[in-house]
Amino acid sequence: MKTSLYAIEIQNLTHTYFTKKAEMTAIRSVSFSVNPGEFIVIVGPSGCGKSTILSLIAGLFPFTEGEILLFGAPVRQPSSQVGYMLQKDGLLEWRTVDANIRLGLEIQHIANAENIAYARKLLNRVGLSDSLNKYPTQLSGGMRQRVALVRTLATRPDILLLDEPFSALDIQHKLYLEELLVQLLADGQKTAILVTHDLEEAIAIGDRILVMGGKPGQIRREFIVPSELRQLSPIKARGHPAFRPLFEQLWNEVETP
């Protein structure tokens, strides 16, 4: 296996969906690379293919053209190196929180005492250890999303793919979860790609922002978040003087058709 400097390398990625009536090219010739430990945010209007890129990196279905490399290895199917989190938490209603956070461990046949203890430790980190034996219907939306985050991190993925995980939450939960996410990722030196339509969120937690647009979707522009913002926590970054100017720039870029 050849080694790579990059955690994720995407080369000339094109994907076309086929239906009986038509074909629809969601993304065309998308290329970008992500360094290990880097936090990339992809923003853009609905239907620009943001989510498609994440599902392709997750290996959920085969892509039409191009190549995706994770630490130098081509993606052909879902990998245990990748954790994937969606806006819909997908918590199994018939399992307790404890059983839900073990799902990935069970599927990957690594549900040993050490890993289960690790998952419970993560649950403690997100402040939900007293909900261990509750069922998802007994939890609020924010709590459910925290459980989903723990479930995703429990298998210790190196790469985290986040598809608008916080967009259904109220602002308080959203900020709290952003803080948690940034802390948890910093602990593990994880690489992450977040897809969102919330530009403030993008600046507050990203290291680099890719703006997508058009049909089929392409990368229109790239913004590097200045280091003084990167060092701050998401809530503090929102109050920094450098925040607004970047937000204006980003806003103009996303708005223009």
Partner 1 sequence: MKSYLKRKAVSSAHERYLQKLWFTQLQVWSTQLAILVIFLWIWEVAANRQWIDPFLFSSPSRIWSLAVQMTLTGELLHHTWLTLWETIVGFLIGTLAGIAVAILIWASPFLSRVLEPYLVMLNSMPKVALGPLFIVTMGAGFGSVLAMAISITVIITTIVIHHRFQSVDQSYLIVARSFGATRSQIFRKIIFPASIPDMIAALKVNVGLAWVGVIVGEFLVSKAGLGYLIIYGFQVFHLTLVMVSLWIVAIISAVMYQFIDWLEHRWIHHRYS
Q: Which residues bind partner 1 (CB under 8 A)?
A: 55, 58, 60, 77-80, 82-84, 86, 88-90, 92-95, 103-104, 106-108, 135, 137-138, 151, 155
Helix axes 141-154, 171-188, angle to 10 degrees: 10
What residues have CB less than 8 Å from 124, skipping those under 6 apart? none
Closest approach of partner 1 to the CB of residue 127, in Å? 22
Cα–Cα distances (Å) from 232 to 190, 193, 194, 235, in that order, read 18, 19, 18, 8
Closest among 176, 232, 180, 224 to 204, alpha carbons compared:
232
According to DSSP, the β-strands at 8-18 and 23-34 are antiparallel
Nearer to partner 1, 106 or 170 (CB): 106
Minimal distance, residue 220 CB to partner 1, in Å: 28
Cα(18)–Cα(136) distance, integer angstroms:
36
Closest CA relative to residue 84, chosen from 185, 153, 160 = 160
Selection from 213, 195, 209 nearest residue 237 by Cα: 209
Nearer to partner 1, 12 or 80 (CB): 80
Nearest approach in angstroms of CB 131 to partner 1 is 14
Angle at 36 between CA 32 and CA 38, to 5 degrees: 70
Cβ contacts of residue 29 below 8 Å, gap of 6+? 12, 13, 14, 66, 218
Shortest reach from residue 37's CB to partner 1, in Å: 21
* Closer to partner 1 by Cβ: residue 138 or 167: 138
- DSSP class of residue 226 equals P
Q: How far is the CB of 79 from partner 1 (least distance, A)?
A: 7
Task: Please enumerate in sequence order all residues whose Cβ is within 8 A of that of 24, keeping only pairs 6 or more positions apart, or say none.
Answer: 16, 17
CB of 80 to partner 1, least distance (A): 6
Please state the closest distance from residue 135 (CB atom) to partner 1, in A: 6
Indicate the residue among 24 and 99 with the shorter CB distance to partner 1: 99
Residue with Cβ nearer partner 1 (163 or 238) = 163
CB closer to partner 1 out of 50 and 151: 151
Using the minimum distance from each CB to partner 1, give the nearer residue, 19 or 172. 19
**Structural contact between residues 45 and 39, judged by C-beta atoms closer than 8 angstroms:** no
